[in-house]
Structure 1
């Protein structure tokens, strides 16, 4: 009989310990990107089409795979273009785009870019649906970088 009253206390202590450890592991929020002082600056924003989905864009500075990704955009549904944000120009940025779609599907793109000083850019894309002759929709994932001054697409780099 003495085991029965002790069992719930042990369980709640374990549960509390697991909760504390879980929160400690997840408690450090990602650090936003900050342009280094004296660096030349370019500006970039997102204009993604997100049909009933949740998407995020994260960036990593440089080519070191151990350096952290910084949050850049998170959104749900159709998004108006976000405000422009400063990034260091003439710097390599790895980009990871991820979008959750209905029925457990995902859209993921990994690429990279280098921006020119003084220019403005827009990241465009998202999951794309088109009707097919079979009556089903076909999905494709797109992500492109547009130079807002010229309206031209800027080639992105292969991610290392």
Structure 2
């Protein structure tokens, strides 16, 4: 019986280590990437993307930010899934963020955060509006959680 308990304890340790190393997330990302490709290559139209990819400047800027983030963090499976699901339609023009927003760095999020925070003691109107909106939406969400029925498990 001790050997069986030892094996079970070892199994639990191995699973915990795999979880801590992100193995399960990696496997899920790999599966979803392969699944997205398979869906696009199939006749399962109900599973295919149903929205049109917009080419407006704001969408292209957002895509540039997201793609840069995914590449910087080596999230290749996510990039593959996006590419497959959109049939390679999300390709922002080269240097759009640098040209439109006049960003200089290679880290758009860092530069955007610096621009956002640079006002110091005189917050911009957009910061104040977004801060208040965030507080209101957070309060609504917390209130809805408090009102939600609790599980009796």
Instruction: Answer yes or no: same fold by TM over 0.5.
Output: no
TM-score (norm 1): 0.24
TM-score (norm 2): 0.25
The structure richer in strand per residue is: 1
